[in-house]
Amino acid sequence: MQEFSVIGKRLPKVEGYDKVTGMATYVADIKLPHMLYGKVLRSPIPHGKILHVDTEKAKKVPGVKAVLTGEDTPKIKWGAFIDDMHVLAFDNVRFVGDEVAAVAAVDESAAEEAIDLIKVDYEELPTLFDVFEAMKSDAPKIHEKGNVALHQKFVKGDFEGGMKEAAYVFEEDFTTPIVWHAYLETMGAIATYSLSGKLSIWLSTQTLFMARQRIARALGMRIADIRLIQPSVGGGFGGKSCDEPTAMICGLLAKKTGRPVRLINTREEEFQASRPRVAANIHLKMGFRKDGTIAFKDARTVNDNGAYSAKAPATTGVTLTRIDTLYRFKSIRGEAILVYTNKVPTGAFRGFGNPPMHFAVEQMMDMAAKEIGLDPTEIRLRNATQVGDVSIHGWRVNSCALSDSIRKAAELMNWKEERAHKKAHQGLGMGCFIHVSGKRHFGNYDGSSAVVKVNEDGKLTIFSGEGEIGQGAFTVLSQIAAEELGVPAKDVEINVGDTDTSTYCHGAYASRLTYIAGNAVKAAVADAKRQLFKMASEMLEAIPEDLVSKDAKIFVKGDPSKALTVSEVARACLYREGGFPVIGRGTWDPPSELQTKDTRDGNTSGAYSFGTQMCKVEVDPETGKVKVLSFIAAHDSGKVINPMLAEGQIEGALQQGIGYALCEEMAFEDGKVMNPNFADYKILSADDMPEKIKIHFVETCVEPTGPFGAKGLGEPGLVATSPAIANAICDAVGVRIKGLPMTPEKILKAIKEKNKAAR
């Protein structure tokens, strides 16, 4: 086992001092001289044609400096995968919350007054809120090309043969709702525009460079004429990926007025018009052989795109296929349909389309286990993917401790004993998951790059454009850099995300930063280390290959008595004739492949994470209310760089996952979000969370391609949470709930139906 000095340590977050003292600066905390305040007018109707926009009264409000409508925008269509949005609507509005006009004024009240005075005449158009209605061939069209945004179908392996082999067959429908990220900081931007043509935006985002590309495209600008700077970001969870036009509107207002403009969403605007999790309608059929191995899987999902395409074209493919590498599927059939409706556009949310299919398949695994007479752990062990497997989609599994995670979770839960002796109305349930560490789709590149500067005092400054949104990327990347050069973690600093000072980076999504950016930073530091060792070898009269570095010193292996500090070597590089500052550059693109469009073949990620979650619940049979008593998460994330932060990722994901399971749902009426605030959209508080939570990292199998063996862990914490709870509810009261959230109403109804049938 490799000995580490920084990797695996529970170090506090590098930006922590600023966060505990209130010094951390989020976008709404920034105030620039002569700054204006922006506001957006949104569509109050779900579908309509804009006949006329009257801005005359708004323009006359004292203090108003600009009023923009769709006519003032470049009218370029943009989007992450399908170009179907405009910065401001000028022809049709397609959901309640669609951006129609914007104002910049000297203060917020003037901006609000002006917004109220903009008069828009609409011709109302027929509305569609249900995917099955919207996909009918005679349904009114939301977009010119029709209401089906994406349709994928495939058959793989010997599907007919698999059907014949099945001794047990199950067929069910499952539904999952639109849920919202609920990051505590609403999205916002501050933009300044220089007449030289440079647009600078401080943006609450998790994908700086991709945001820059989209802004450039939507505004018809050159990419490098836009500078994006990432302040502290108050959470993202996929929602702050610039899939909606806040940054573009703010930029246009700054351009029009020549003054800095700050545009911050209200909480209600966030609910109405950000990009929440895609809702799925899954029809699932699975067959099992007598021994419990899976004979076939036949899945169809119809997902709700909402009014425009953000990330749902990608999340929908993930809903259909990602789970196909969790078990050793040999014959599968799949179909995914993504349908436009007149609701809020859906997008990326932690798990990226993966949780809905886990909710379905992991319940069916339990249904099969019960029928066949196997323990839920045993049926999964008999099907679990193993190291070295190449899955039915061609995914290469270099590391996998799924089976170990099942056994470890069972041990920590005391599974068999607890199940045998549980009290009335208590139940235990489990769920397994697979997730990725990066996903190749944008430009057939899933890499990362970094530059590291070695300062004269031996301290490293890392320039990475991946950014930090609270998940701990900066700390983990600093630890990787420190370990690579053999310096203490405090000798590493990382710059704030800034597109002008760092090289291209995709940003935070797909649990990719530890694995991919970690390797890029490691490579950059290795490059700097080579330069330092070359100089040190001259100074120590040794060959570079014989040198090692430890505790910020460089010396000949086995002879630490004649050591040079990193600082001495860095200074020696610089202060001499023809000297140079030590600058390392690193780049790394994982060994993955672009998936084929229809059949979704190809090794989508360089590494896959696995794990098992188990929980114990108590269901009140009188009210249907579920209390989660304890939770175990045994995850395979490879080598864990910082266990304290890693535990925090899982604990936080559980808060979102338990909420997804039991109470979270955006409620719509005629396309309007009816619970657009934290009083009506319930997220779990401290008292709602189980007191007994145990996070365990199964480090029995490290990832050979990962930095020091690490792989991604940000998203997986909620992927198997909802089926684990569903299975526990079933174990407790004998009812299977197939629609999320599993509210007391649904559970009570199911209990009553069950009792009625028994009579």
Partner 1 sequence: MKRKILLNINDEDYEVEIDPNRLLVDVIREDIGLTGTKKGCEIGVCGACTVLMDGKLVSSCLMLAIYAAGKKITTIEGLFKNGELHPLQKAFLDYGSFQCGFCTPGMVLASKAILEENPHPTEHEIREGLNGNLCRCTGYAKVVEAIQAVAGK
Told to check if 368 binds partner 1 by CB under 8 A, we report no
In whole angstroms, the minimum distance from the beta carbon of 508 to partner 1 comes to 12
CA pair distance 465, 448, nearest whole angstrom: 9
In whole angstroms, the minimum distance from the beta carbon of 61 to partner 1 comes to 17
In whole angstroms, the minimum distance from the beta carbon of 689 to partner 1 comes to 6
Closest to partner 1 by CB, 231 vs 287, is: 231
**Binder among 6, 7, 8, 28 for partner 1 (CB under 8 A):** 28
Q: What is the dihedral of CA 326, 719, 446, 605, to 10 degrees?
A: -10
Told to check if 382 binds partner 1 by CB under 8 A, we report no
Residues 607-666, interacting with partner 1 (CB under 8 A): 644-645, 647-649, 651-656
Q: Which residues are CB-neighbours of 365 under 8 A, at least 6 positions away?
A: 376, 379, 380, 383, 432
| Residue 436: CB atoms within 10 Å | 28
**Binder among 77, 123, 160, 184 for partner 1 (CB under 8 A):** 184
CA pair distance 673, 671, nearest whole angstrom: 7
Told to check if 187 binds partner 1 by CB under 8 A, we report no
Annotate each residue in 139-178 with x if it binds partner 1 (CB under 8 A) or - if it does not, as one string.
----------------------------------------
Q: Which of these segments, 417-425, 463-471, 484-492, 597-605, binds partner 1 (CB under 8 A)?
A: 463-471
**Binder among 86, 94, 156, 181 for partner 1 (CB under 8 A):** 181
Closest to partner 1 by CB, 561 vs 685, is: 685
Q: Which of helix, strand or coil describes residue 591?
A: coil
Count CA atoms closer than 13 A to 355's CA, side-chain side.
36
Pairing, β 553-556 against β 64-69: unpaired
Residue with tokens 């014959």: 331
Give me 460's structure tokens: 């490293």
In whole angstroms, the minimum distance from the beta carbon of 529 to partner 1 comes to 29
Closest to partner 1 by CB, 271 vs 352, is: 271
Residues 213-252, interacting with partner 1 (CB under 8 A): 232-235, 237
In whole angstroms, the minimum distance from the beta carbon of 10 to partner 1 comes to 7
Residue 336's DSSP bridge partners are 152, 301
Closest to partner 1 by CB, 22 vs 62, is: 22
Give me 740's structure tokens: 């999320």
Residue with tokens 């145990």: 694
**Binder among 58, 182, 279, 392 for partner 1 (CB under 8 A):** 182
Closest to partner 1 by CB, 18 vs 56, is: 18
Closest to partner 1 by CB, 424 vs 686, is: 686
Closest to partner 1 by CB, 305 vs 475, is: 475
Amino acid identity, residue 153?
K
Residues 416-455, interacting with partner 1 (CB under 8 A): none
How far is the CA of 570 from the CAs of 163, 471, 480, 544, 574, in angstroms?
66, 32, 20, 15, 6
Closest to partner 1 by CB, 9 vs 289, is: 9
Closest to partner 1 by CB, 51 vs 686, is: 686
DSSP 344: P
Q: Which residues are CB-neighbours of 340 under 8 A, at least 6 positions away?
A: 94, 128, 134, 142, 143, 147, 148, 149, 305, 306, 307, 308
Residues 256 and 19: beta-carbon distance below 8 Å: no
Closest to partner 1 by CB, 186 vs 383, is: 186
Closest to partner 1 by CB, 10 vs 141, is: 10
In whole angstroms, the minimum distance from the beta carbon of 657 to partner 1 comes to 10
Q: Which of these segments, 9-17, 284-292, 518-526, 531-539, binds partner 1 (CB under 8 A)?
A: 9-17
In whole angstroms, the minimum distance from the beta carbon of 23 to partner 1 comes to 7
Closest to partner 1 by CB, 271 vs 555, is: 271
Closest CA to 405 of 609, 708, 112, 620: 609
**Binder among 31, 423, 756, 759 for partner 1 (CB under 8 A):** 31
In whole angstroms, the minimum distance from the beta carbon of 684 to partner 1 comes to 8
**Binder among 472, 507, 638, 706 for partner 1 (CB under 8 A):** 472
Q: What is the dihedral of CA 221, 438, 477, 640, to 10 degrees?
A: 160
CA pair distance 591, 587, nearest whole angstrom: 13
Closest to partner 1 by CB, 514 vs 605, is: 514
Residues 664-703, interacting with partner 1 (CB under 8 A): 677-679, 683, 685-687, 689, 691, 693
Closest to partner 1 by CB, 566 vs 719, is: 719
For residue 153, the Cα-to-chain-centroid distance in whole angstroms is 25
Count of residues binding partner 1 (CB under 8 A)?
56
Residue with tokens 């310096």: 487
In whole angstroms, the minimum distance from the beta carbon of 599 to partner 1 comes to 37
Closest CA to 445 of 395, 396, 399, 512: 512
Q: Which residues are CB-neighbours of 316 under 8 A, at least 6 positions away?
A: 150, 152, 278, 301, 303, 305, 336, 337, 338, 353
Cβ burial, residue 439 (10 Å; 0-12/13-18/19+) = buried
In whole angstroms, the minimum distance from the beta carbon of 28 to partner 1 comes to 7
Closest CA to 654 of 610, 692, 625: 692
| Residue 83: CB atoms within 10 Å | 14
Closest to partner 1 by CB, 20 vs 543, is: 20
In whole angstroms, the minimum distance from the beta carbon of 366 to partner 1 comes to 25
Closest to partner 1 by CB, 272 vs 471, is: 471
Give me 670's structure tokens: 């005629």
Told to check if 583 binds partner 1 by CB under 8 A, we report no
* Dihedral sign from CA coordinates of 251, 308, 242, 466: negative
Q: Which of these segments, 12-20, 83-91, 323-331, 548-556, binds partner 1 (CB under 8 A)?
A: 12-20
Residue 433's DSSP bridge partners are 611
| Residue 655: CB atoms within 10 Å | 20
Told to check if 537 binds partner 1 by CB under 8 A, we report no
Residue with tokens 């505590």: 184
Told to check if 183 binds partner 1 by CB under 8 A, we report yes
**Binder among 3, 21, 373, 757 for partner 1 (CB under 8 A):** 21
Q: Which of helix, strand or coil describes residue 231?
A: coil
Residues 250-309, interacting with partner 1 (CB under 8 A): 266-267
Closest to partner 1 by CB, 270 vs 298, is: 270
In whole angstroms, the minimum distance from the beta carbon of 645 to partner 1 comes to 6
In whole angstroms, the minimum distance from the beta carbon of 83 to partner 1 comes to 31
Number of H helices, E strands in the chain: 19, 28
CA pair distance 86, 75, nearest whole angstrom: 6
Residues that bind partner 1 (CB under 8 A): 10, 12-13, 15-26, 28-29, 31, 181-186, 232-235, 237, 266-267, 469-472, 644-645, 647-649, 651-656, 677-679, 683, 685-687, 689, 691, 693
